[in-house]
Chains A and B, each alone.
Chain A
Amino acid sequence: DTEVTQTPKHLVMGMTNKKSLKCEQHMGHRAMYWYKQKAKKPPELMFVYSYEKLSINESVPSRFSPECPNSSLLNLHLHALQPEDSALYLCASSPDRGETQYFGPGTRLLVL
């Protein structure tokens, strides 16, 4: 089973809203990732968690706040986003860092 799930599938929010994206995997993977993908572009890495600790933050603005409550779950808290933050947000996991990453279906975010 190589399934990573993400909720919600779609999200529309205003610039003053607070929302959260959720990612879950039950493969026993110890590394989890958030990517942002704009239309017709490749994914861009945002954050890497390894053994539930943040190991990479690619200079992402503080209006994006990741959280890893346990080894199966990864959240991305959103606050005061800008319209340019509208994108597909992909979550991925891998058995450990440096191993093959498996992606979830993504959350399409629209910021109005």
Chain B
Amino acid sequence: AQTVTQSQPEMSVQEAETVTLSCTYDTSESNYYLFWYKQPPSRQMILVIRQEAYKQQNATENRFSVNFQKAAKSFSLKISDSQLGDTAMYFCAFMPLNFGNEKLTFGTGTRLTIIP
């Protein structure tokens, strides 16, 4: 079974600063995807970024980037130039690419508040 751990229940940062959210996971699978989703107060779950385990290059999407360390089973999210709209709950998620078992496992989330 897979587990996803987010050790920071809450974080806050000043607007325009950079913040890094941590995520570690445990799996025996060799082929998988990792995701960061954000869930603002509106409660819609929004995809932030995806990383394929077979890719060594870290994924980036505009102000969002990841630090993927496969051997350490670590997958952190960096948000640069943080904006008020980044205030949300952030979930790290893992999905094995194992036919019949492609279930998304979420961490417990990190509540991020951007302070004006």
Give A contacts to B, CB under 8 Å: 2, 40-43, 45, 48, 56, 88, 90, 92, 97-98, 100-106, 108
Contacts and interface: CB of A to CB of B under 8 A. Distances in A.
**For chain B, what secondary structure do more than half of its interface residues adopt (helix, strand, loop), or is it mixed?**
loop
B106 to A, nearest CB: 4
Residues of B in contact with A, size category: 20 to 34
Contact of A105 (B37, B42, B99, B103): B42
B43 A42 contact: no
B103 A42 contact: no
Given A103-B37, A106-B43, A108-B43, 8 more contacts: A40-B109, A41-B108, A42-B91, A42-B108, A88-B43, A92-B45, A105-B43, A106-B44
Contact of B44 (A41, A48, A100, A104): A104
B102 interface: yes
Given A42-B91, A45-B103, A90-B45, A100 B109 contact: no
A103 to B, nearest CB: 4
B95 A98 contact: yes
Contacts of B104: 45, 101
